[in-house]
Amino acid sequence: MLKNPKNRKRKILVTGGAGFIGVNLANRLLDNKNNQVIVYDNLSRKGVENNLEFLLSRKDGNLKFVRGDVLDYKKLRETAKGCDEIYHLAAQVAVTKSVEDPVGDFKINAEGTLYTLEAARKASPGAVFIFASTNKVYGELLHLRLKKGRMRYSLQEKKNGISETENLDFHSPYGVSKGVADQYVRDYHRIYGLKTVVFRQSCIYGEHQYGNEDQGWVAHFIIKSLLGSRLNIYGDGKQIRDLLEVSDLVRAYGLAAGKIEKSAGEIYNIGGGPDNTFSLLEFLSFLGKSLKMEIGYSFSEWRPGDQKVFISDNSKLCRELGWKPLISKKEGVEKLTGWIWNNINLIRKVHGK
Ligand SMILES: NC(=O)c1ccc[n+]([C@@H]2O[C@H](COP(=O)([O-])OP(=O)(O)OC[C@H]3O[C@@H](n4cnc5c(N)ncnc54)[C@H](O)[C@@H]3O)[C@@H](O)[C@H]2O)c1
């Protein structure tokens, strides 16, 4: 008997779906009973098996887990067969690690993305394809006029932040491998007509983030503080980041997928924007007050490509897809602190404390 296509569930693949952003995305997608979600992940990131367990605890027949590597093209292509949406999040995510092992970093981020695009082109060419890129593709942004204050740098131009028209300037192996991937994703729309969308993400934070010194600094700072450990700050701590709570990001993915006739082939910067910035020093002061404790820290060298200021100009996303961040930095950080506190034993285990 022929299946009524109207009753067919939407098949959605999330590579890196056990990771921090992936688990939040998969969890939201599963709330819609019409979605069938495949989490494809090699579980290489420490702690993400807890995220997988969290998803599996939903006991949802619409969830399928495939333990696989994005470098395993055959498996990836098989898994991607007949998908309606593909979210490509799997990556080597740490700048520090990319400097130690640039070849490994390139393989996962650049080659792995090319394989994922090829899998989509061959096995589900009509699928929406959303890629998690990074603001690191803009490099150090040394040309920006900055003012150095007591607690923070401030931008003396581009008050709305950095837009998609900023020149690309890949810096650090991670910046290069993600930048290569970003450009491939864009080009697969032009050359093969794939419905690809690139999100150049600022600093994303939220529940299920097992942040460490190399990546996920918001969660990392909170975890270390709660465990009473001393923090290390790369640089002088005055660097500015715009913070975006993960549910706001996931909502933007949904808007892009829902309006794919408009978003296909587009690149969007996305972050907390000018209203949600913290310098690291300001963040620690805020956190210390909120936890009612003294937080100890010291300084070390800047990491390669570290921007003194990054603030995302979200205007294009706002104009074209009607998106804006809804969760303020204070609200989001308090929510994450609560989650970390409630899961502190699990987190201790992940961090070997
Ligand atoms: N979190 C942020 O602030 C941020 C900012 C900009 C861009 N991004 C991008 O968003 C994506 C998700 O980031 P995240 O913060 O959730 O990181 P994460 O490390 O929590 O998630 C990445 C997931 O990919 C998996 N993975 C790694 N290598 C793999 C491979 N070879 N095959 C299959 N799976 C593999 C890991 O096990 C992990 O579950 C990444 O592409 C990252 O570059 C994140």
Q: Provide the pLDDT confidence category of residue 7 given band limits of 50, 70 and 90.
A: confident
pLDDT (0 to 100) of residue 5: 63
Domains of the chain (ranges; CATH) run 9-350 (3.40.50.720)
- Distance in Å, CA 224 to ligand 1 centroid: 21
Residues annotated as catalytic (active site), given as ranges: 174
98 touches ligand 1 (CB under 6 Å) = no
For ligand 1, pick from 21, 98, 109 the residue to mutate: most ligand atoms within 8 Å of CB.
Answer: 21
Interval 220-261: pLDDT, tens: 999 999 999 999 999 999 999 999 999 999 999 999 999 999
- Which residue puts its alpha carbon closest to atom 19 of ligand 1? 19
Interval 64-97: pLDDT, tens: 999 999 999 999 999 999 999 999 999 999 999 9
Secondary structure of residue 339 in the 3-state scheme: helix
- Distance in Å, CA 2 to ligand 1 centroid: 39
Average pLDDT of the residues of the chain: 96
Atom of ligand 1 nearest to the CA of 23: 16
- Distance in Å, CA 3 to ligand 1 centroid: 36
**What integer is the mean pLDDT of 1-28?**
87
pLDDT (0 to 100) of residue 6: 67
pTM above threshold 0.85: yes
Atom of ligand 1 nearest to the CA of 107: 31
Count how many residues are written for the chain: 353
CA distance 121 to 134: 23
Query: Given the DSSP bridges, would you call strands 153-155 and 146-148 parallel, antiparallel or unpaired?
Result: antiparallel
pLDDT (0 to 100) of residue 2: 47
Q: Provide the pLDDT confidence category of residue 351 given band limits of 50, 70 and 90.
A: confident
Interval 115-173: pLDDT, tens: 999 999 999 999 999 999 999 999 999 999 999 999 999 999 999 999 999 999 999 99
CA distance 210 to 18: 12
Residue 81: name the closest of 4, 2, 13, 131 by CA.
13
Q: Which helix (H) or strand (E) holds 15?
A: strand 10-15
| CB distance 130 to 12 below 8 Å | no
45 touches ligand 1 (CB under 6 Å) = yes
pLDDT (0 to 100) of residue 1: 44
Interval 207-226: pLDDT, tens: 999 988 888 999 999 999 99
* Whole-number Cα distances in Å, 334 to 207, 252, 269, 289: 11, 22, 25, 12
Helices assigned H by DSSP within the chain: 20-30, 48-56, 73-79, 95-100, 102-106, 112-123, 172-192, 217-226, 246-258, 260-263, 280-291, 315-321, 329-342, 344-350
| DSSP summary character for residue 110 | I
Check pLDDT > 80 for residue 104. Answer: yes
**What is the longest distance spanned by two Cα atoms in the chain?**
71
206 touches ligand 1 (CB under 6 Å) = no
Interval 272-323: pLDDT, tens: 999 999 999 999 999 999 999 999 999 999 988 899 999 999 999 999 999 9
